[in-house]
Amino acid sequence: MIKKIFPLIVFFLAACQPAPAAVTETAATVAESTPTTVSATETAAPSPTPLPEATATPDNIRISSKDGMTQILIPAGMFIMGAMDVYRENDEQPPHDVTLDAFWMDQVEVTNGMYNLCVEAGECRPPAETRSDNRDEYFGNPEYQDYPVVYVAWYDANVYCQWAGRRLPTEAEWERAARGDDKRNYPWGDELPNEYNSNSLNTVGDTTRVGSYAEGASPYGILDMAGNVWEWVADRYRPDYYSKSPSENPQGPTADEVFNTYRVIRGGSYQEDGIFLRLVNRSFLEGPDPKDEAYYGKSTNRIGFRCAQNGN
């Protein structure tokens, strides 16, 4: 089985190096990091999506005063990271025990409305494109304020999380928030993706409002961790990292341990099928180049992000 490299189309807005492996059958528009100028408008932060009553307590849920994001506390503990199913691939191996400190995780993906607050504050660059896959007017359009922001490079996602007083989650944190303490294959369990648990399989054909699939919640009540948009995480990509990563609070390989600019993306998008949406699936796209400060990486109409924060 060919490794599921992030599905890219080979048409770029500017010349770039080819992808390191065969692309998949699904195409996505890829943009370089030059953003499109967007005039500032008054945009309120979207209303937070409430945690299910069964899991909500005053101690494990809070609202960010910066952008209105609902944050869920993921408790400290150990979980099994990596694939244990028949579709497991080399870079998802071996499954291994990982212990993490407690951390806060955004319940949903960062939305257009939230991201625009950072743009208006003069801290974030506008998305490279203001459209989505099938909508000419997306970012800056009030109709899609509560939909995930797209066309943001890893650099932009990192800046936003810092502006919001948070950070990008590590790959291990992302997987624990999606899996919990058992061996499930999807955030909601082992049932295959469908129209009720995720925006996937190209059923909708574009992004949907964040938090629209309550049946797809992870064990901690985190939403949209499979489908809707891929999500940037903090880690650099190295295919054999699991065989050598530390067992406590892994931060991903250092710059000296990789020979590329790839950053990991997780979760799949609205176009992907069940194999791509497995919570252990690892994919990647080019991030900032430390040798070229003017290059911020690539972005697409199928990548967004969410933030995390230390559990203190």
Give me the CATH number covering residue 186.
3.90.1580.10
Domain-embedded: residue 232: yes
Digit-coded pLDDT (tens) for 206-221: 999 999 999 999 999 9
pLDDT at 1: 33
Domain-embedded: residue 19: no
Digit-coded pLDDT (tens) for 162-183: 999 999 999 999 999 999 999 9
User: φ and ψ at 240, to 5 degrees?
Assistant: -105, 20
The domain in which residue 279 lies consists of 33-312
Domain-embedded: residue 14: no
Best CA proximity match to 306, nearest among 55, 5, 74, 18: 74
More reliable by pLDDT, 78 or 2: 78
Domain-embedded: residue 219: yes
Is the pLDDT score of 8 beyond 50?
A: no
Strands 103-106 and 308-310: antiparallel
Is the pLDDT score of 97 beyond 90?
A: yes
171 torsion bin: left (phi>0), alpha (psi -120 to 50), beta (else)? alpha
Model-level pTM greater than 0.75? yes
Domain-embedded: residue 20: no
Number of domains in the chain: 1
Alpha-carbon span 215 to 222, nearest angstrom: 11
With bands split at pLDDT 50, 70 and 90, how would you rate the model's confidence at 16? very low
Domain-embedded: residue 142: yes
Domain-embedded: residue 27: no
Domain-embedded: residue 67: yes
